[in-house]
A and B are shown apart, each in its own frame.
Chain A
Amino acid sequence: MRIILNKDVQIIPDSISIDGLLEHLNIEIKYIAIEVNQKIVPKSEYDTFNLKENDNVEIINAVGGG
């Protein structure tokens, strides 16, 4: 299915959970935050939160800054 991931279109497996998405993308669940359609999804819900077609997903982390 199609989602928007960090502003880009991404095709991912259907009915995938956030846990599944992170595995699919090879991203470790450490020091990240995830928003789906502008709402933060707590880490405790990553395994049960299933993504839908056209969801707007943002994966955010900390980078160097002043």
Chain B
Amino acid sequence: MSKLIINDKSYNSRLIVGTGKYKDLTETKQAILNSGAEMVTVAIRRMNIGQDKSLPNLLDYLDPKIFTILPNTAGCYNAKDAVRTCQLAAEILEGEKLVKLEVLGDDKTLYPNVTETLKAAEQLVKDDFKIMVYTTDDHIIAKELENIGCISIMPLASPIGSGLGIQNEYNLLTIKENSTVPIIVDAGVGTASDASKVMELGCDGVLMNTAIACAKDPLLMATAMKKAVESGYDAYHAGRIPKKFHASASSPKEGNVCD
């Protein structure tokens, strides 16, 4: 598998994973190790002030010197909050400006609000942030975000956390066809075959959280996802056979002992 280049850094893994919804930090870390992911998303939140100082911080488990930490703007419903969250993330991460921008439209669907997303992206590019952006599967918007300066476009395949899989194959193909930055499908993956499918479409990577964290066995699912992304990537590059309506025998006709 060739390396994925994001923000001038190369990655062996094309799987990016979230760190939410796990039982504890030990499980979080082990799942991430099993997945082979080198980039992980985190959320930015008010600290729980009453917490015991001896309790480990997420970033004590996922050392930013080892993993690329991708802070998200989850929970932001307008550009102003998203920009503020990115600024806080940069302060937390000692000036690192790689962010996952997501501006949501409503609670029920967690569908992106593209007008606010565009507004936030414009501001963040001016402030020198490197933006990987969660967006709809609309290739016109994807191109606009790319033109603003986003370094990766992350369209949804179906709603966040839904596990509905790839519901928009042709839209994803159109986005990929029209883009020059990495296309990383973010949201909707339910199981390993969904991750393979994303890669078989020629996308550059997959981002997922719930599909691993909420599986019956998250550690095993993390391993499955690693293999799925790799096999989907290889299958795309190997070139699948064309689909035919009728059968085509695999064994030779010559020398058939039944003749």
- Asked if residues B49 and A35 are in contact (CB atoms below 8 Å), the reply is no
Closest CB-CB distance, A28 to chain B, in whole Å? 7
In this complex, the member of B21, B42, B72 whose beta carbon has the largest number of chain A beta carbons within 10 angstroms is B42
The verdict on A11 contacting chain B, using a C-beta distance below 8 Å, is no
Assess A59 versus B47: contact at CB under 8 Å? Given A40-B88, A65-B18, A65-B19. yes
A5 to B49, CA, bound (A): 9
The verdict on B1 contacting chain A, using a C-beta distance below 8 Å, is no
Does more than half of chain B's interface fall in helix, strand or loop, or is it mixed? mixed
- Asked if residues A63 and B88 are in contact (CB atoms below 8 Å), the reply is no
> Contact check: which of A26, A40, A60 meets B46 at CB < 8 Å?
A60
- Asked if residues A65 and B20 are in contact (CB atoms below 8 Å), the reply is yes
A63 to B49, CA, bound (A): 13
User: Contacts of B69 on A, CB cut-off 8 Å?
Assistant: 62
A54 to B44, CA, bound (A): 24
> Contact check: which of B43, B47, B91 meets A65 at CB < 8 Å?
B43
Assess A59 versus B91: contact at CB under 8 Å? Given A64-B18, A64-B20. no
- Asked if residues B91 and A33 are in contact (CB atoms below 8 Å), the reply is yes
Closest CB-CB distance, B164 to chain A, in whole Å? 16
- Asked if residues A62 and B49 are in contact (CB atoms below 8 Å), the reply is no
A31 to B90, CA, bound (A): 10
A11 to B108, CA, bound (A): 38
Chain A count of residues within 8 A CB distance of the other chain = 26
Closest CB-CB distance, A30 to chain B, in whole Å? 7
A30 to B94, CA, bound (A): 10
The verdict on B41 contacting chain A, using a C-beta distance below 8 Å, is yes
Assess A6 versus B47: contact at CB under 8 Å? Given A62-B42, A64-B58. yes
Closest CB-CB distance, A58 to chain B, in whole Å? 6
The verdict on B125 contacting chain A, using a C-beta distance below 8 Å, is no
Assess A62 versus B92: contact at CB under 8 Å? Given A7-B46, A27-B47, A31-B59. yes
> Taking beta carbons and an 8 Å cutoff, which residues of B are in contact with A?
18-22, 28, 41-47, 49, 53, 57-59, 69, 71-72, 74, 87-89, 91-93, 160-161, 207-210
